[in-house]
């Protein structure tokens, strides 16, 4: 009987069944299976032991991996030990379904344990009636603070801000401020700068922590502060606030109300989430899938995609109508039917490339008058040059394949025309939609594809009919 070499002897490592993630940074199936077994058995202590070391983001991954009934069981078994911050890390559909199944008292307890911005993130997706029930069970000060944030427009800086910040008067010294920070218990868990305010809470200046900690105790705050204050309005769109962070390399900025009074702060961790959300939204809109999420069910997915598929169907019928105008031409030269999709496809891809660059530039506000003109010239010229390159390549291949130099010339000319049209449509359509206050990420793709299909078919079949006298 021979002894087989062990895994260690072979230089391999077995995955640790106690590890939360595997070697590829995915949820460890063995770990997840053990958690499920504890849920079925109702072994609360073992569940708490497994979940306790996890970061909120990792706990969110676990919740998404579980079935709906298992999620509810997990939260209820953990009770006070469950960190509701994990619910800010899951898809909206998962969060909404889970909260709907939890008792109002449980949701209120969890919301009360969160920072203001995270609590608002959970509450804003709830039905108005359920939200009011949760708010009614919170202490008066927290309830009023959350209601004030919820009164700001959706996707605004006011919805994203934290209402805990450190504001001090200008006549204090560094020493007084240090003593205050040491004695005061109700302070933010993390902060990056101090805000110097007048009695009406209007911001007079800011002091970064690194500068503050290097100053002597007897230095007056007014002499230490930076008077060039950058703030954002609470009603400002969160995407605009994110651009300020990017442009000025910020880690924290004050949020002011309509009277310019300091009401909260935005921090870089919130803005990273905003940038991720906005970029994801633009990508989804370009693909015509709306706010679809990975965790959505089949019905939600179909409902999200169907409207744009209907629009695509209508535009495809338009392209089909253009082809039908040249039925006689195609019947006399069957090769045209095999070649015309090439022209339309190349134009569609080129138009999508230009459209993607343009939509992104519009989203980041990188296009002003001068840059718009340059971009238009660049894309149209690029379309012409690409058209010439691929016209030559496709023309030669076509001439050799069908032993018809004339057909090669025709498809080459059609390619140039459609590539120019693609470059023009890819930039002008998003610009026109943006000028009309329509989100170019939503509608550009359909219109650009329609233009390239129609122009491609019309140019190729029309030139073929004229060149060969088939009309």
Per-residue model confidence as pLDDT tens digits over 308-350:
778 888 888 888 898 888 888 888 888 898 899 999 999 999 9
Residue 9's pLDDT is what?
A: 44
**pTM of the predicted protein model:** 0.72
Residue with tokens 């200046």: 205
- Burial class, 136, CB count within 10 angstroms (exposed 0-12 / middle 13-18 / buried 19+): exposed
Q: CB-based contacts of 258: which residues, under 8 Å, 6+ apart? A: 233, 234, 235
Query: Is 11 buried (19+), middle (13-18) or exposed (0-12) by CB count in 10 A?
Result: exposed
Average pLDDT of the chain to the nearest whole number: 88
Residue 2 in this model has a pLDDT that exceeds 80? no
Contact (CB, 8 A) for 154 and 147: no
pLDDT above 60 (res 11): no
pLDDT of residue 6: 45
281 pLDDT above the threshold of 80 = no
45 or 359, greater pLDDT:
45
pLDDT for the residue 292 = 66
pLDDT more than 90, % of the chain: 65
Lowest mean pLDDT among 89-98, 201-210, 291-300: 291-300
What's the whole-number mean pLDDT along residues 246-256? Answer: 93
**For range 353-370, the mean pLDDT:** 82
Cβ partners under 8 Å of residue 107, min gap 6: 99, 134
Q: Rounded mean pLDDT of 237-263?
A: 93
Please check the confidence at residue 16 and state whether its pLDDT lies above 60: no
The strand pairing partners of 237, in sequence order, are 156
pLDDT of residue 275: 86
Q: Where are the beta strands (DSSP E) in 347-458?
A: none
pLDDT tens digits, 42-79: 999 999 999 999 999 999 999 999 999 999 999 999 99
Write down the pLDDT at residue 8: 42
The H-or-E segment that residue 364 falls in is none
Cα dihedral across residues 345, 351, 357, 359: positive or negative: negative
Domain ranges of the chain: 29-155, 167-286, 298-468
Phi, psi values for residue 164, rounded to 5°: -95, 120
> CATH for 167-286?
3.10.580.10
Query: Residue 157 and residue 266: Cα distance in Å, rounded?
Result: 7
Read off the pLDDT of residues 368-380 as tens digits, 9 standing for 90 and up. 777 888 889 999 9
Q: What is the pLDDT of residue 15?
A: 46
Top mean-pLDDT range of 361-370, 391-400, 441-450: 391-400
Give the strand order in the sheet containing 203-208: 167-168, 193-197, 203-208
Report residue 280's pLDDT band, with 50, 70 and 90 as the boundaries.
confident
What pLDDT is attached to residue 278?
A: 80
Quick one: pLDDT at residue 365?
A: 76
Q: What is the pLDDT of residue 113?
A: 92
Structure tokens at 145: 């603070």
DSSP 226-294: B----EEETTSBHHHHHHHHHHHT-SEEEEE-TT-BEEEEEEHHHHHHHHHHHHHHHHHHHTT-TT--T
- Give me the architecture of the 298-468 domain, per CATH: Orthogonal Bundle (1.10)
pLDDT band at 17 (very low <50, low <70, confident <90, very high): low
pLDDT at site 13: 45
pLDDT score of 415 more than 70: yes
Q: In this predicted model, which residue has the larger pLDDT, 277 or 154? A: 154
Q: 29-155: which CATH topology?
A: MgtE N-terminal fold (1.25.60)
Tell whether the model's pLDDT for residue 439 goes beyond 90. Answer: no
Selected residue with higher pLDDT from 84 and 26: 84
């Amino acid at each position: 009987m021979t002894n087989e070499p062990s895994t260690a002897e072979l230089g391999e490592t077995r995955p640790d069944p106690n590890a939360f993630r595997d070697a590829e940074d995915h949820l460890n199936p063995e770990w997840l299976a053990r958690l499920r077994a504890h849920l079925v058995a109702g072994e609360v202590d073992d569940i708490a032991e497994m979940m306790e070391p996890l970061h909120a983001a990792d706990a969110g991954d676990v919740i998404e991996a579980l079935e709906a009934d298992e999620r509810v069981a997990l939260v209820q078994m953990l009770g006070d030990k469950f960190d509701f911050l994990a619910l800010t890390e899951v898809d909206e559909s998962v969060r909404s379904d889970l909260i709907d199944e939890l008792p109002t008292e449980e949701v209120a307890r969890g919301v009360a344990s969160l920072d203001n911005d995270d609590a608002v993130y959970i509450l804003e997706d709830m039905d108005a009636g359920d939200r009011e029930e949760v708010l009614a069970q919170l202490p008066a000060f927290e309830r009023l603070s959350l209601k004030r944030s919820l009164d700001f427009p959706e996707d605004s800086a006011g919805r994203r801000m934290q209402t805990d910040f450190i504001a001090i008067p200008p006549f204090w010294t560094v020493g007084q401020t240090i003593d205050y920070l040491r004695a005061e218990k109700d302070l933010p868990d993390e902060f990056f700068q101090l805000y110097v305010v007048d009695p009406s809470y209007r911001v007079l200046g800011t002091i970064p922590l690194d500068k503050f900690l290097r100053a002597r105790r007897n230095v007056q705050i007014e002499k230490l502060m930076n008077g060039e204050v950058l703030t954002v309005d609470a009603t400002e769109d969160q995407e605009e606030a994110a651009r300020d962070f990017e442009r000025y390399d910020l880690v924290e900025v004050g949020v002011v109300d309509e009277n310019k009074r300091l009401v909260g702060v935005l921090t870089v961790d919130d803005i990273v989430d905003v940038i991720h959300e906005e970029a994801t939204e633009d990508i989804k809109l370009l693909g015509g899938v709306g706010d679809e999420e990975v965790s959505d069910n089949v019905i939600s997915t179909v409902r999200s995609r169907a409207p744009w598929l209907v629009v695509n169907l209508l535009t495809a019928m338009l392209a089909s109508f253009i082809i039908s105008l040249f039925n006689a031409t195609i019947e006399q030269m069957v090769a045209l039917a095999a070649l015309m999709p090439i022209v339309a496809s190349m134009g569609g891809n080129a138009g999508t490339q230009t459209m993607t660059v343009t939509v992104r530039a519009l989203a980041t506000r990188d296009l002003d008058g001068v840059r718009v003109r340059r971009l238009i010239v660049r894309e149209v010229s690029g379309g012409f040059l690409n058209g010439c390159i691929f016209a030559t390549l496709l023309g030669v291949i076509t001439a050799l394949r069908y032993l018809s130099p004339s057909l090669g010339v025709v498809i080459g000319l059609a390619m140039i025309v459609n590539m120019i049209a693609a470059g023009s449509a890819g930039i002008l359509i998003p610009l026109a939609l943006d000028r009309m206050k329509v989100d170019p990420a939503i509608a550009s793709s359909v219109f650009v594809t329609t233009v390239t299909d129609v122009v491609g078919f019309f140019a190729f079949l029309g030139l073929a009919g004229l060149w060969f006298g088939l009309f």
